[in-house]
Amino acid sequence: MFGEIFYPRQVVLVTAATSEKSNVTAVEWFMPVAQKPPILAISLSNSSLTLDLICTSLEFAVAVPTEKMKEQVLLCGMTSGKFIDKFAETKISTMKAKKISAPLIADAAANLECKVRYYSTQGDYTIVLGEVVEAHFSKSSDEPLLFNKGGKELFGLKKDQL
Ligand SMILES: Cc1cc2nc3c(=O)[nH]c(=O)nc-3n(C[C@H](O)[C@H](O)[C@H](O)COP(=O)(O)O)c2cc1C
């Protein structure tokens, strides 16, 4: 897999919802794209339920998980919401967003509410560009954030450990 050369990579959680269903998944293919307005990109497999929900609702949220959420993030990244309710299964606590319908992750270091500006399918993945319309930061944001070493081996890293 060509992406292997880019590890370690930070891992985030992406949530999305329609009136019928809401879901959460792990994403490490993401990047900031612009500052004014703030825009970020995520790349999702075309088979992902999260992608379907985003393309229907044109909204999503990006949550920055901490090391404590490692097991929950792994479960979110190894199962599809097509088969299980990942919120119930992981017991991840959610909170209401201000400007979008997708839930936010209560214990995350940060949550960014996004409205889709553009998406494009490229091969077996679809890149989605979202404008950040609301941002929430946790008070305990000095906790280690979550990274993937590669091979789904996650570890926490604090900024002062760099
Ligand atoms: C650490 C980690 C990072 C992941 N990053 C991505 C990613 O960037 N894009 C993606 O499409 N899938 C990624 N995955 C896989 C999806 O999370 C996985 O296919 C998931 O089952 C999709 O769930 P959904 O169908 O509920 O959306 C990642 C998995 C893990 C464990």
Q: Per-residue pLDDT tens for 93-116?
A: 999 999 999 999 999 999 999 999
Alpha carbon 69 to its chain centroid, in Å, reads 13
The pair phi, psi for residue 69, each rounded to 5°, is: -95, 10
User: Is the peptide bond between 144 and the residue preceding it cis, with omega within 30 degrees of 0?
Assistant: no
pTM score, two decimals? 0.98
CATH number of 2-161: 2.30.110.10
Ligand 1 contact, 25 CB (< 6 A): yes
How far from each other are the two terminal CA atoms of the chain, in whole angstroms?
A: 27
What's the 152 CA to ligand 1 centre distance in angstroms? 10
| Pocket flag, ligand 1, residue 90 (CB < 6 Å) | no
Residue-wise pLDDT tens digits, 26-53: 999 999 999 999 999 999 999 999 999 9
